[in-house]
Amino acid sequence: MKTLNIGLFGCGTVGSGVYAILASQRERIAAETGTWLNTAKVCVLHPLKERNVAVPPELMTIGGDEILDDPAIDVVVELIGGEQEALGIISRALVNGRQVVTANKLVIARHLPLLRKLEDRHGGRLFYGASVCGSIPILKVIDETLLTDRIIRLRGVMNGSTNFILSRLAEGSTKEQALASAARQGFLEADPTADLSGADAAHKLSILAFHAFGRHVPPEHIATTGIDAVTAATVKEARARGCTIKLVAEAAEIDGELILSVGPHMIPLHDPLASVQDEVNIVEVECSGIGVQRFIGKGAGSIPTANAVVSDLLDIVARRRYRRGGEAAACIPAKSPADYRPSPRHGMTATVAA
């Protein structure tokens, strides 16, 4: 039986979920795939910290180099969040020809052209299905759809945290109560700015547009409005008009121009986007041939994201990769990977080089 050795960066909300799934389902996965998914090393800042899972002490390390420079590690899984340090981890792993899985929508949305170039140049593979819409395998759907059809529009509710908050407002909660409830259930980070400002949804939309239309639009170039101005009174007024409020992300190709936007919309109650509640996401894909398809699933929380990470690991086992179209020519210029230096936070000091 083949063994796939995994080096895991981060064992927080998502990382602990990934570790737990692999520990509990490893034998079943092995029986189905003929591959043993072995968590060989876990890099964390605080090895003695209490966690939701019991990781054997011998697997713990505070030195990222122990994973990135170990030829026995087949797959690097990055789940630490943030941008520059995570980018350094992902880049170095790709430069070393490794397989990489990440849920980091910020890094992927901003640096996907660079990371694709590193894949092509050094032979690694990058998977990031977990970065977009949690449990919905939307990137696979888009890639398969493009084999036979042309996508002309994407639309959806792509941030589970804000949808949870808006659902509470629709039930009569105050904004403060809705935020507190989202935080208690683990749908909001300690700093919820990315969710509330719409930035999180813009990151996801940037990634989806790259796959659907073959063009990279950095998230900061997407017209974005969050839900800061939405109150219980706003939602009540919408309901009186037979509508509800949803944070909608949309991308459409009109006369050759790609237009992307994120913002709160008044959605009629008969619209399918109005039907999703709590942390559930919905993505509509409109094609020139088959018309509109809709995909629904949980988009926030530890287990949906962790399941998506494990699904990416299974894609590595199956030797899949994302569709390679003409996107490279359409991407904006990227910085050289040598411009990025991993911080010493996880014990890494070497410069990333192409």
Please say if 204 is a catalytic residue: yes
**Based on the domain organization, do 166 and 237 belong to the same domain?**
yes
41, 105, 175, 204: which is the annotated catalytic residue? 204
Q: Which pLDDT band holds residue 350 (cuts at 50, 70, 90)?
A: very low
**351 in a domain, yes or no?**
no
Verify that 188 and 263 share a domain, yes or no: yes
Q: Which two tokens stand for residue 326?
A: 């003409």
pTM, full prediction: 0.89
Q: Are residues 294 and 328 part of one domain?
A: no
Residue 352 lies in a domain: no
Q: Which long-range contacts (CB under 8 A, 24 or more apart) does 194-199 make?
A: 194/106, 195/159, 195/161, 195/162, 195/226, 196/162, 196/165, 196/226, 196/227, 196/228, 197/224, 197/226, 197/228, 198/159, 198/162, 198/224, 198/225, 198/226, 198/227, 198/247, 198/262, 198/263, 199/224, 199/226
176 and 37 assigned to the same domain: no
Which CATH number is 223's domain given? 3.30.360.10
Co-location of 63 and 179 in the same domain: no
Task: Classify residue 326: in a domain, yes or no.
Answer: yes
Per-residue pLDDT tens for 168-222?
999 999 999 999 999 998 888 778 999 999 999 999 999 999 999 999 999 999 9
Indicate whether 1 pLDDT > 70: yes
Whether residue 124 is found in the same domain as residue 188: no
* 120 in the same domain as 142: no
In this structure, the answer to whether residues 292 and 146 fall within a common structural domain is yes
Per the domain annotation, does 353 fall within a domain?
no
- The region of weakest confidence among 39-48, 111-120, 315-324 is 315-324
Please give the share of the chain, as a percent, with pLDDT higher than 70.
91
Domain that holds residue 308: 2-134+304-346
List pLDDT tens digits, range 265-310: 999 999 999 999 999 999 999 999 999 999 999 877 778 899 999 9
Q: Mean pLDDT across the chain, nearest whole number?
A: 89
Number of domains in the chain: 2
pLDDT attached to residue 323? 83
Residue 256 pLDDT: 86
Give the pLDDT score at 249. Answer: 98
Residues 110 and 17 in one domain: yes
Q: How confident is the model at residue 343 (pLDDT cuts 50, 70, 90)?
A: very low
One domain, residues 166 and 292: yes
Residue 9 shares a structural domain with residue 118: yes
Q: Does 95 reside within a domain?
A: yes
pLDDT of residue 301: 73
How much is the pLDDT for 325? Answer: 57
Supply the pLDDT for residue 238: 96
Predicted pLDDT at 48 = 83
* Whether residue 60 is found in the same domain as residue 158: no
Residue 55 lies in a domain: yes
